Amino acid sequence: MRRKGSYTPLQRKFYGWQVFVGGPIAIIGVILVLFHPPAKIYVASWGLVVALCDLFWFTPWQKSLRASAARIQEAFDCDVLELEWNDLKAGKYPDPELIKKQADKYSEWSKDMPSLENWYPSRVDQLPLYIARVVCQRTNCWWDATQRRHYASWLLGLTVLVFFIVCSISLCGEATVESLLLKGILPLSPALLIALRQFSEQREAAERLDKLKEHCGAIWKAALAGKSAAAIGNMSRNLQDEIFENRRKAPPVLDFVFKRLRNDYESDMSYAAEHYISEAKEALKL
């Protein structure tokens, strides 16, 4: 089975700008206040405006983009894993023009990204489709949960470090609550808001994926116990519905995380897949 990613460049670009405005720009504002104290009112006001925009504009738009991206990913998985499209869960099938447009943008945008061709181990083709499908679904759940959990940990560590440094500098020479609020917390509030929400959402998504991976294990045991291909296919379709739901809810992961983890964890992912392939061959005498 060949897998080629279905990232949406618009979603990634929008999310990148959201992080940039709420993160580095906010930190620059804090530095500006330290060197030019009269700017503290303007910088604090900027932080409040960005926080409100994030709450009432950026986040709702991001959710809309997530839903569109999830449908495109679902269309791809249905094609690769040979699953029927579930109108009740995923809604209308994406227009081919939209898929072509996003694919073209991705091709231009992802030249320096690790290849997503042949994402699944090639030996998975040696298994019957209804069993190979479960291996691929488990691979998806494991990989996505792993990168989200790492991203959340890095994000929390960086946020705590930046917050500690900024608060320490803000209190230097003027240890007052007003100084801390105007020079530190308010200018940094957009970054804190985005970081804490991202940490929470990434952890929640990883936990949902862990549960889905466990469900893959239950489907796998049923398959090796001799349950019919039709029954396993229905179970996989239900599992795919939950994978779609998680994608619709989960925030994107910045590209550097994928680049950093792809090569390190690809061998682990391939080893696990090979293990399941060998187990299936032995149990089913393939």
As a whole number, mean pLDDT of residues 124-129 equals 88
Amino acid making up residue 46:
W
SS3 label, residue 220: helix
CB neighbour burial string for 72-100, b if at least 16 within 10 angstroms, e if fewer: bbbbbbbebbebeeeeeebeeebeeeebe
Q: How confident is the model at residue 27 (pLDDT cuts 50, 70, 90)?
A: low
Residue range 234-281, pLDDT digits in tens: 999 999 999 999 999 888 887 767 777 776 777 787 788 888 988 998
- pTM assigned to the model: 0.76
pLDDT of residue 134: 94
Which token pair is 12?
A: 């990634």
- CB under 8 Å to 262, separation ≥6 — which residues? 114
Q: Answer yes or no: is pLDDT of 204 > 70.
A: yes
- Least Cα distance to 34 among 165, 161, 159 occurs for 165
Q: Give the separation between CA 55 and CA 133, rounded to whole angstroms.
A: 39
Amino acid making up residue 93:
Y
